[in-house]
């Protein structure tokens, strides 16, 4: 039996606020022009666990240090094939099934078959992976199913401090200044008006729900580049425009995630949580016109890239909380979620996971569409947006639980589609 693996700080924090919120999962959805034999899927999952051993463990809380202990069950029990008539209804039912990390590993592999096509759904708990981690796992899974070698090379390390190893002494002053800046940022975010409204509240059912907004990624990217901006800048600008429309006065805020894997000296496939969060604040008048908003957001994010804010966002709490017992971290998890809720009430956020083409390259031309869905956090009074790209298409999932009303979810998806179209057209 393999030895237990130490739990990371983020594992204990997420487990703390995960209690009672059973859908903190991310799901890689891959629509393929092929079918799979069950034994091939089981063998692929075994390859995935060999590359990332934490996926073959269950979580064991403790007072001082939690750990991941090897699961004694059969990995084949985590794989299933279902023949379905309604693919979207089957996907929704699957996403609503919780992953109980105390009883079994934080992974599930499902093939939803429909004729000669398959929607492959790789589900991972957010305790072990962010969007970049799901891409790394998807690459290993695709390589195993197609007899290819994963690229980049899988690495089982999981520490959030990995991203700091590429920094030199000359970076420390900048990192310290940014740590102070990020530590005080929630205070000035409170100057922004709430974008969550009383009529947005739902009945409280924790079931995950989402709306999907599709976009021509190539056309949108070209429109962004014409203003010296990136697709990520464009997505953040769209969120800023939505925040401006949903609030009456004061500055406008929008947030986005930063994948800290870009700080690594070499490309590695890491299944872990290695991301930060960055925020932009604009004068309300700047968010009045689409292209003006895009240029302002691009300028702010450009300055942030020189200052390491996403890295500081992650390293500051990591250094402060690392010495604490994991039992205390699990208690802290709830206030962390409350703080996140207050920020998201004032700064609509987008998680831009980026293109999936490289991760799914082993499948070749068998892939028709691909995206990543989740995680769903019950209790948040505003939806969150996850963005991925594949084959030139940009897919945005507007995600919420029962804390958000159906009408509010519909309206935000419609407003997001309109804001993205305005940015692309420059109107």
Residue 348 has what pLDDT?
A: 84
Whether residue 183 sits in one domain with residue 139: no
CATH number where 313 lies: 3.30.559.30
Whether residue 193 sits in one domain with residue 73: no
Residue 196 has what pLDDT?
A: 61
- Distances in Å between the alpha carbon of 386 and those of 152, 308, 330, 400? 23, 23, 26, 11
Q: What is the DSSP letter of 201?
A: B
| CA dihedral of 333, 338, 341, 345, whole degrees rounded to 10 | -160
Give the residue from 120, 155, 190 where a domain finishes: 155
375-386 burial, b for 16+ CB within 10 Å, e for fewer? bbbbbbbbbbbb
Residue 367 has what pLDDT?
A: 97
Residue 57 has what pLDDT?
A: 97
Query: Most distant CA pair in the chain: distance in Å?
Result: 62
- Token pair, residue 40, equals 């091939």
Give the residue from 107, 128, 155 where a domain finishes: 155
Whether residue 249 sits in one domain with residue 281: yes
CATH number where 54 lies: 3.30.559.10
Whether residue 93 sits in one domain with residue 56: yes
Residues in the chain: 427
User: Looking at 283-359, which runs of residues are DSSP E strands?
Assistant: 347-355
pLDDT in tens, the chain (427 residues): 689 999 998 899 888 876 656 678 999 999 999 999 999 999 999 999 999 999 999 999 999 999 999 999 999 999 999 999 999 999 999 999 989 999 999 999 999 999 899 999 999 999 999 999 999 999 999 999 999 999 999 999 998 878 776 666 666 676 677 766 666 666 666 666 666 665 566 675 678 899 999 999 999 999 999 999 999 999 999 999 998 888 877 788 888 888 888 878 888 999 999 887 788 888 888 888 999 999 999 998 888 765 565 666 676 677 778 889 999 988 887 777 677 677 777 778 899 999 999 999 999 999 999 999 988 877 677 788 999 999 999 999 999 887 788 888 899 999 999 999 999 987 5
Whether residue 39 sits in one domain with residue 81: yes
State which residues form the domain around 12: 5-155
Whether residue 314 sits in one domain with residue 265: yes
Contacts for 183 with CB less than 8 Å, ≥ 6 apart? 316
Whether residue 200 sits in one domain with residue 109: no
Place of tokens 């991310």: 26
Q: In the chain, how many domains are there?
A: 2
Give the residue from 155, 180, 211 where a domain finishes: 155
CA angle 225, 133, 384 (to 5 degrees): 60
Residue 10 has what pLDDT?
A: 86
> Which DSSP string do the residues of 47-111 spell out, in sequence order?
HHHHHSGGGGEEEE--SS--EEEE--S-GGGGEEEEE-S-HHHHHHHHHTS---TTTS-SEEEEE
Contacts for 294 with CB less than 8 Å, ≥ 6 apart? 224, 227, 229, 233, 234, 237, 423
Residue 311 has what pLDDT?
A: 65
Whether residue 199 sits in one domain with residue 142: no
Contacts for 187 with CB less than 8 Å, ≥ 6 apart? none
Residue 122 has what pLDDT?
A: 98
- Token pair, residue 58, equals 């269950």
Whether residue 313 sits in one domain with residue 181: yes
| Average pLDDT in the chain | 87
Whether residue 190 sits in one domain with residue 66: no
Whether residue 419 sits in one domain with residue 288: yes
Whether residue 316 sits in one domain with residue 239: yes
Nearest CA to 317 out of 9, 11, 61 is that of 9
Neighbouring-strand partners of residue 30: 120, 370
Phi, psi torsion values for 204, nearest 5 degrees: 100, -5
Sign of dihedral through CA atoms 329, 334, 338, 340? positive
Contact indicator for 137, 48 with CB cutoff of 8 Å: yes
Residue 365 has what pLDDT?
A: 96
């Amino acid at each position: 039996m393999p030895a237990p693996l130490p739990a990371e700080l983020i594992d204990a924090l997420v487990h703390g606020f995960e209690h009672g919120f059973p859908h903190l999962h991310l799901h890689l959805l891959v629509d393929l022009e092929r079918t799979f034999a069950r034994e091939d899927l089981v063998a692929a999952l075994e390859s995935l666990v060999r590359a990332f051993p934490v996926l073959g463990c269950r979580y064991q809380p403790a007072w001082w240090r939690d750990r991941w202990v090897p699961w004694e069950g059969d990995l084949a029990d985590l794989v299933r094939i279902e023949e379905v008539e309604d693919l979207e209804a089957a996907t929704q039912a699957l996403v609503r099934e919780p992953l109980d990390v105390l009883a079994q590993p934080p992974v599930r592999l499902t093939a939803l078959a429909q004729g000669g096509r398959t929607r492959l759904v790789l589900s991972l708990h957010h305790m072990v992976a962010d969007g970049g981690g799901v891409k790394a796992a998807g690459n290993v899974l695709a390589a195993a199913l197609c007899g290819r070698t994963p690229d980049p090379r899988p690495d089982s390390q999981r520490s959030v401090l990995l991203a700091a190893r590429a920094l030199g002494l000359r970076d420390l002053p900048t990192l310290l200044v940014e740590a102070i800046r990020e530590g005080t940022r929630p205070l000035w975010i409170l100057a922004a008006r709430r974008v969550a409204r009383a009529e947005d509240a739902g009945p409280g059912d924790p079931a995950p729900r989402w709306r999907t907004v599709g976009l021509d990624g190539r056309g949108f990217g070209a429109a962004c580049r014409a203003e010296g901006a990136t697709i990520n800048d464009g997505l953040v600008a769209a969120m800023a425009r939505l925040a401006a429309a949903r609030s009456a006065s004061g500055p406008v805020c929008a947030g986005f995630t930063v994948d800290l894997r870009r700080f690594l000296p070499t490309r590695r496939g890491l299944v872990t949580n290695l991301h930060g969060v960055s925020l932009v604040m604009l004068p309300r008048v700047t968010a009045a016109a689409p292209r003006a908003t895009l240029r302002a957001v691009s300028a702010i994010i450009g300055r942030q890239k020189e200052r390491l804010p996403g890295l500081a966002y992650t390293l500051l709490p990591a250094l402060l909380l690392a010495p604490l017992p994991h039992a205390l971290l699990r208690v802290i998890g709830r206030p962390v979620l409350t703080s996140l809720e207050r920020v998201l009430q004032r700064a609509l956020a987008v998680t831009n996971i980026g293109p999936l083409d490289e991760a799914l390259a082993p499948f070749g031309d068998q892939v028709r569409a691909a995206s990543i869905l989740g995680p769903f956090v019950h209790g948040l009074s505003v939806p969150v947006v996850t963005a991925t790209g594949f084959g030139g298409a940009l897919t945005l999932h507007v995600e919420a639980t029962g804390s958000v009303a159906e009408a509010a979810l519909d309206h935000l998806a419609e407003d997001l589609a309109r804001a993205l179209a305005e940015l692309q057209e420059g109107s």
